[in-house]
Chain A
Amino acid sequence: MGRAAKIARRTFLIGSATIAGGVAFGAYMVSRDPENPLANDLAEGEATFNPWVIIDSEKVTLITPHGDKGQGVVSSQAALIAEELDIEFGQFETSFGEPSPAYWNTAMAEEGVPFKATDEGFTAETMRTVMGSVIKLLGLQGTGGSTSMPDSFVKLREAGATARETLKLAASQKTGLPIDQLKTSNGAVQLPNGSELKYTELAGIAATLDPVKNVPLRDPKAWRLIGKPMERLDIVGKSTGTINYGIDIEVEGMVHASVCVNPRQGGVLNGFDPSAAKTMRGVKDVFEITGGVAVVADNTWRAFNACNAIKYNWGDAPYPAEQADHWKTLTESFSADLLDSTWRNDGDSEAVLASGKIFEAEYRSPYVAHAPLEPLNAIVLVNDNQVEVWTGHQMPRFLQQVVASITGHEQDQVILHNQYMGGSFGHRLEFEHIKQATEIAMKMRGTPVKLTYTREEDFAHDFPRHISMGRGRGKVENGKVIAIDLSLAAPSVISSQMGRLDFTVPGPDSQLAAGAWNNPYKIDNYRMQAYRAPELAPTSSWRSVGAPAAGFFFDSLLDELIHEAGADPMEERIRLMNHDLSRKVLETAAEMSSWGSDLGPNQGRGVAFVESFGVPVAEVVEVTNTDAGIKIDKVYVACDVGTVIDPVNFENLVQGGVVFGLGHAINSEITYSDGKAEQSNYHQHEAMRMYQCPEIIVKGLENGHKIRGIGEPPVPPAAPALANAIFAATGQRLREMPFNKFIEFV
């Protein structure tokens, strides 16, 4: 590893602004492409053109390195390749591939620089390029930050185009026909005489050719897949129980393990009494692992039961034991020495808010669990020359490093068989379960060990969304908002998360303030400051990371100020908007919802706008205040991602994001008592069920010139739009989630 890569390796840059300190790299290091991992063990007659396409005489395989946790990116990645390769769904297989620097994420730089996504000026774009170079040097392969489509959009179409033109060259050599007489469709080169040569028939010749480079991409008007409804490649498997998730994998000779680790996360194990567990049926072994105890058995349920039969003596939590003290820490963190960054300071809020009638309010956002429905699990098999891992994970290369650091193997000796994931929402960015499975497998070299968490263990070690507190001030004049000043205090989720991988995150954490400073409003006086509270309970990125908290604070504060001004919530947001794409999004939401039209008795309508991951999203929520509580009737969503790959999957993801945002805002939080999370299963952290689910009407605009991801951006506006609607219907302001602490829901 070169010096530059070592510098980059030590400090994690995503979501922090350390890049502003300046790291320079030689052009050679950056311009050199990583090796194609598919070329390492090619069989005779097998052709690969780039890291995403491999063809032999039997089949075409498309590599889809971004992990699929439900977003449908196996299909979307394959569609991008297939669009240019002229091959249809059903004519190829897919594989997640092996972890490789070749799959470095070209889009993670967008969130990693301290510039608004709407800022496309020279400095911002330059910093994105520099940050992109760092990520390339790191070979940072990852799925997160709604980057799968931005990362893949150009490079996977190029991969398909390169493969197609090389296959045409092979067909030309085979037939003696000039290339310009050859066409491609249906996974074959079409000859002028009406016959065809399947790509699989051409693999042998293609394998001897240098891939054709610099193939121009097709005009979007010629697309036959992109932008049209697709049948997801996993949809039949997921509708028939025939698709395997990590938890379903069986490896020959496998044993079943479960663990119980100190629920006071990070606390030690003082001692344990395994006597009752050891004599239970099917239990093979019980032993200590880092921070807790592992049970190895012949069946998952028996391993669970044995874990429950052990008596544990846990050490104290390395953070305040009681929830009230977590909040107290935040209230004490609005101090100059903890100022992480002043992210925005337009005008002179200090002066304007020094006198006159000042509006003030305080907001809170709790810890919330990811709780994907498939509990964390991993199979690990340790042998002398290699380690194999079967699990679904978002960070394949880091996973290799984590495993190798425990087993003593080289990183490349760790083989990851990545799997479809039964949800993640950020949970499968974590490595604790991987470390534990590896520790257990080290004790049982040569035997595959499948670790499965109980749901209770999963909740206890969820690494929830961070808590956050906002203090807002503002001023209105002549029916207009003239000043908004939001301060926020929270522990840094990126620091907590990356700290578990021994990375330091110096400098401001842009995710602390995401959703609050970056909204493209032009308000005469607009200040946003983030204070970095000391680390409390360990936390991890939760679908949309900083924006579900900071976006809730900012948009709620803005809504309150608009009400103070006596202005219309939609009209005033549109008036203040200083970004064409975003204004169009608001106007579209207004049109969709017939904003301003009469509602029935006890009904209310609220709007929120939050930009996250480069996607402006406006949501209008309509509620009815019934005798049984608040009922959410309808939600209208307008957003702009530049290009929609699959409109059906897109709508599904937006609806799901709204459900995720609303459900948790209504009823979910993790609280700590005696150092442990008080919520252990879904009955205490339910989020939304079908009876509460409104009708959700979605419109995806395509005015932006950059393609964006839609996995996360629909989440942040849901909570403030609901709170604003409830205010409109009842006059009651909700400034703290979950809302059901303050108002009943149907």
Chain B
Amino acid sequence: MKLSVNGQTHNVDVEPEMPLLWVLRDELGITGVKYGCGIAQCGACTVHIDGVAVRSCQMRMADLEGEVKTIEGLGTPDALHIVQKAWVDHQVAQCGYCQSGQIMSAASLLDVNDDPSDEEIDAVMSANLCRCGTYPRIRAAVKSAAANLRSA
């Protein structure tokens, strides 16, 4: 099976029902995407497929269509995406395990709406669980990133 991740094409020989999450992590060694719950409850596995946030633990390989982007494809330590920059500026992470997914969800939200209301931020970001409770900082970082996007 063919898939394109962060601009690179890969060929994998896996079962059609294997979730994208495990293809990325175990077959391709792309580990920024995390396993947290396996049932789309925590959002740690969030990636973009053609720019839209998707829970990769629920995306069977057989159903995959489109370009996959993981946190590694969003930005890098030397070239941070505007959302990642906001995450660093606000010192959001504690354990950080959920933050790849949080950032991918936020980037997807801001891609379609660069001026979300508090309610819209809460509604979208509530699909991502943070056991450390960094929500106040996530909120602030999303708002900063939105403001930076608007002035960019």
Q: Which residues of chain A have a CB within 8 Å of any CB of chain B?
A: 69-72, 229, 231-232, 234-245, 247-248, 250, 256, 281, 299-301, 304, 371-375, 420-425, 452, 454-455, 648-649, 652-653, 655-660, 663, 681-683, 686-691, 693, 695-696
A-B contact pairs, 16 of them (CB 8 A): A232-B93, A235-B88, A235-B92, A239-B96, A241-B31, A247-B34, A299-B18, A304-B38, A374-B36, A375-B36, A423-B97, A652-B94, A687-B129, A690-B125, A690-B128, A690-B138
The complex places the Cα of A245 from the Cα of B74 at a distance, in Å, of: 20
Select one of B76, B97, B103, B134 contacting A656, CB under 8 A: B134
B88 lies within 8 A of A657 (CB): no
Q: Which residues of A contact B35 (CB under 8 A)?
A: 247, 300, 375, 452
* Interface flags, B100-141, vs A, CB<8A=1, else 0: 100100000000000000000111011011111111111100
A655 lies within 8 A of B37 (CB): no
Known: A240-B32, A299-B26, A658-B133. A681 touches B91 (CB 8 A): no
Known: A682-B37, A682-B42, A690-B139. A237 touches B133 (CB 8 A): no
A297 (CB) vs chain B CBs: closest residue: B26
Q: Which residues of A contact B93 (CB under 8 A)?
A: 70, 232, 234-235, 238-239
The complex places the Cα of A722 from the Cα of B118 at a distance, in Å, of: 23
The complex places the Cα of A281 from the Cα of B13 at a distance, in Å, of: 12
Q: Which residues of B contact A245 (CB under 8 A)?
A: 97
Known: A301-B18, A422-B96, A423-B131. A695 touches B136 (CB 8 A): yes
**Which residues of chain B from 31 to 72 have a CB within 8 Å of any chain A CB?**
31-39, 41-42, 44, 70-72
B42 lies within 8 A of A70 (CB): no
A72 lies within 8 A of B94 (CB): yes
A239 lies within 8 A of B131 (CB): no
A655 lies within 8 A of B131 (CB): no
Known: A371-B131, A423-B132, A682-B37. A243 touches B126 (CB 8 A): no
The complex places the Cα of A240 from the Cα of B33 at a distance, in Å, of: 10
User: 7 tightest A-B contacts by CB?
Assistant: A241-B32, A659-B133, A238-B96, A422-B97, A70-B95, A241-B71, A656-B133
The complex places the Cα of A658 from the Cα of B133 at a distance, in Å, of: 8
Cβ distance A621 to chain B, nearest Cβ, rounded Å: 15
Q: Which residues of A contact B138 (CB under 8 A)?
A: 690
Q: By CB atoms of chain B within 10 A, which of A244, A371, A657 has the most?
A: A371
How many chain B residues touch A (Cβ–Cβ < 8 Å)? Answer: 60
B75 (CB) vs chain A CBs: closest residue: A240
B126 lies within 8 A of A373 (CB): no
The complex places the Cα of A423 from the Cα of B36 at a distance, in Å, of: 11
Known: A373-B44, A454-B38. A240 touches B84 (CB 8 A): yes
Cβ distance A369 to chain B, nearest Cβ, rounded Å: 10
A299 lies within 8 A of B27 (CB): yes
Known: A236-B77, A240-B72, A681-B41. A374 touches B88 (CB 8 A): no
The complex places the Cα of A648 from the Cα of B91 at a distance, in Å, of: 8
Q: Which residues of A contact B75 (CB under 8 A)?
A: 240
Q: Which residues of A contact B71 (CB under 8 A)?
A: 240-241
B149 within 8 A of A: no
The complex places the Cα of A371 from the Cα of B22 at a distance, in Å, of: 21
A244 lies within 8 A of B31 (CB): yes
Cβ distance A222 to chain B, nearest Cβ, rounded Å: 25
Known: A656-B94, A691-B123. A237 touches B77 (CB 8 A): yes
A69 lies within 8 A of B129 (CB): no
The complex places the Cα of A682 from the Cα of B44 at a distance, in Å, of: 12
The complex places the Cα of A241 from the Cα of B84 at a distance, in Å, of: 10
Q: Which residues of B contact A658 (CB under 8 A)?
A: 133
Cβ distance B94 to chain A, nearest Cβ, rounded Å: 4
Select one of A250, A655, A681 contacting B29, CB under 8 A: A250
B132 lies within 8 A of A656 (CB): yes
Q: Which residues of B contact A655 (CB under 8 A)?
A: 133-137
A242 lies within 8 A of B77 (CB): yes
Q: Which residues of A contact B84 (CB under 8 A)?
A: 239-240
Known: A241-B31, A245-B97, A300-B26. A455 touches B38 (CB 8 A): yes
Known: A301-B18, A423-B131, A655-B133. A238 touches B37 (CB 8 A): no
Q: Which residues of A contact B37 (CB under 8 A)?
A: 455, 681-682
Known: A240-B72, A656-B94. A681 touches B39 (CB 8 A): yes
The complex places the Cα of A686 from the Cα of B96 at a distance, in Å, of: 18
Known: A70-B94, A663-B133, A682-B41. A242 touches B32 (CB 8 A): yes
